[in-house]
Amino acid sequence: MNKTLAQLYHSYVFCLGQEFERYQELIKIIGDEAEVLIRSYLDELLEFNTKKERVLISLNVATEMRLDARQKIISHLSLEEPVSMKQLIAYAQNDTRQNLIDFQEKFTDLSANLEVLNKSNMDLITFSLSNLDNSLNYINILTSSSPNYDHCGQIKAGKLQGRLISQEG
């Protein structure tokens, strides 16, 4: 491998490392998100979202750097898009090849972890929204002058007493 290509691969591996670190930060934050969602304090949620936004911005920068380094390798090798990681690994030498294989495995594991954490947090959010909806329905029942309407103003057909006649005019 010529020196220029070796430097390009070195830069690419460095960018992969930076992106991997940002993803680890994101996983830690998403893992902590469950506690914040359970407590449900608005100020904590807003602060947490700000933290997560900062990590996502730095992750986006790291991803752009990696894609730029990848593109330089592709251009240097005169490869046609789309180029897979497997193809890039095939052109790499010795330690660089092993580093790329290691990062490929690490990113696969990260992806699986993120999917599990996101599913868990999505379930918590769905549960919280369901509880909120039930609370609003209960408050509406207590304050509503007519028990025949739900919180959206729709007629509750199941609990009507008497005949319902619809008349235009």
Binned average pLDDT, 10 residues per bin, the chain of 169 residues: 85 94 92 80 86 93 94 90 89 90 93 91 86 82 65 61 49
Q: Tell me if 29 sits within 8 A of 117, measured CB to CB.
A: no
In a domain, 165, yes or no: no
- Phi/psi for 155 (5° steps) reads -70, 130
Angle at 123 between CA 46 and CA 130, to 5 degrees: 80
Q: What's the pLDDT score for residue 104? A: 92
Domain count across the chain: 1
Residue type, 32: D
CATH code, domain carrying 35? 1.20.58
Q: What's the pLDDT score for residue 140? A: 76
Q: What's the pLDDT score for residue 159? A: 47
Q: What's the pLDDT score for residue 61? A: 95
Say how far apart CA 8 and CA 16 lie, in whole Å.
Answer: 12
In a domain, 110, yes or no: yes
Spatial CB neighbours of 46, under 8 Å, sequence gap ≥ 6: none
In a domain, 31, yes or no: yes
In a domain, 94, yes or no: yes
| Helix then strand then coil, % of the chain, to nearest 5 | 80, 0, 20
In a domain, 64, yes or no: yes
Q: What's the pLDDT score for residue 63? A: 94
Residue range of the domain that includes 54: 3-145
Within its chain, how far is the Cα of 147 from the centroid?
Answer: 41
In a domain, 155, yes or no: no
In a domain, 169, yes or no: no
Handedness of CA 115, 119, 120, 125 (dihedral sign): positive
In a domain, 151, yes or no: no
Token pair 């390798």 is at which residue? 73
Radius of gyration of the chain (CA): 27
Q: What's the pLDDT score for residue 158? A: 58
